[in-house]
Amino acid sequence: MPLYRKEHSYGEYVFDWAWAQAWAQYGQNYYPKLVNAIPFTPVPGPRLLMQSQEGIAEVVKAAAEAIENLCHKAGYSGWHMLFPQPELVELLQSDMLLRKDVQFHWHNRDYLDFDAFLADLRSSKRKQIRRERRRVAEQGVYLQRLSGQQLTGEAMEAFYHCYCETYLRRSGHSGYLNRQFFQRIAETMAEQIMLVLAWREEQVVAASLFLFDSHNLYGRYWGALDDIDCLHFEACYYQGIEFAIEAGLAQFNPGTQGEHKLVRGFEPAQTSSLHWVADRRFQPALQDFLNRETQYKEEYRDAARDCLPFRRGQ
């Protein structure tokens, strides 16, 4: 069960800054902590490496006990399993704090093409999406999708330039992931990458990078050199939906947050994380917080469903 020793909470997408502040107010150290997750990737999946699922309950219990002993021995405030698959949640939730959140996922209902997806939407939303797509073309921008052997060094460099420029403008640094990371995934898993390049006047002005497997598309990184109206929706959502339909993928997970995804056909989905703290004096307060937060998240998910753009009966 791979773990990271962390002195902060960046790159996790499960926000526990208030927890760290609570520890500090009581003169305690929340960091370092241990995190079991895929870095910078808010995607549910396996968090325990096993050749076979036989005996998984005993293995999970033994791993959890070993990690808790390590926390006490090494002075970690606790350990956190982020975005685990449901089987692990079921095995661990009796001994750990369960936290829930909401993402927005697009589901492929055997659509033949993008127009078939639009046909499921109410007329006003269908017209809005078509208007946004036309708006991109009217500004002289056209889109190109690349995968596999098409992912040349020049294409990845163009993406990386857009990625860094966007981080610099928004946060003053060049992005968490370096050029070598993107070069390596292009070299080792190009058949699972889909890259969208946005061109204007023979120059790349924006790019978005996706990963995919046999069932799912994952929208991960985006960058732009200019502010072009509606281009983010086109490059990050509509191109992804088209690709998922063409590739026969069942689901498109575009990442965390963003109610603006609702009107574009992305439906609310629950995610989970599990948390264990070494100082049990904090347990009642955390449990109370999570009880209230869970109620809010469930109400939020239900309210989000009411905002979906689908025609009645769809």
Give the tens place of pLDDT for each residue, 63-113: 999 999 999 999 999 999 999 999 999 999 999 999 999 999 999 999 999
Instruction: Report the percent of the chain where pLDDT is more than 70.
Output: 99
Q: Stretch 138-164: mean pLDDT, rounded?
A: 97
pLDDT at 258: 80
Residue 102 and residue 268: Cα distance in Å, rounded? Answer: 6
Provide DSSP, the chain.
---EEESS-TT-SS--HHHHHHHHHTT----SEEEES-TT----B--S--S--TTHHHHHHHHHHHHHHHHHHHT--EEEEESB-HHHHHHHTTTSEEEEEEEEEEE--S-SSHHHHHHTB-HHHHHHHHHHHHHHHHTT-EEEEEEGGG--HHHHHHHHHHHHHHHHHHHSS--SS-HHHHHHHHHH-GGGEEEEEEEETTEEEEEEEEEE-SSEEEEEEEEESS--TTHHHIIIIIHHHHHHHHHT-SEEE--S--GGGGGGTPEEEEEEEEEEES-GGGHHHHHHHHHHHHHHHHHHHHHHHTT--BPTT-
pLDDT at 53: 85
pLDDT at 173: 79
pLDDT at 314: 66
Please, which pLDDT band fits residue 197 given cuts at 50, 70 and 90?
A: very high
pLDDT in tens, 7-59: 999 989 999 999 999 999 999 999 999 999 998 889 998 999 998 889 999 99
Closest CA to 193 of 132, 233, 235, 149: 149
Please, which pLDDT band fits residue 267 given cuts at 50, 70 and 90?
A: very high
Q: Stretch 286-313: mean pLDDT, rounded?
A: 94
pLDDT in tens, 210-263: 999 999 999 989 999 999 999 999 999 999 999 999 999 999 999 877 889 999
> What pTM value is reported for the model?
0.93
Higher pLDDT, 175 or 239: 239
Q: Domain 109-249's class?
A: alpha beta
pLDDT in tens, 49-58: 998 889 999 9
The residues spanned by each domain of the chain are 4-101+271-305, 109-249
pLDDT at 227: 93
pLDDT at 220: 85
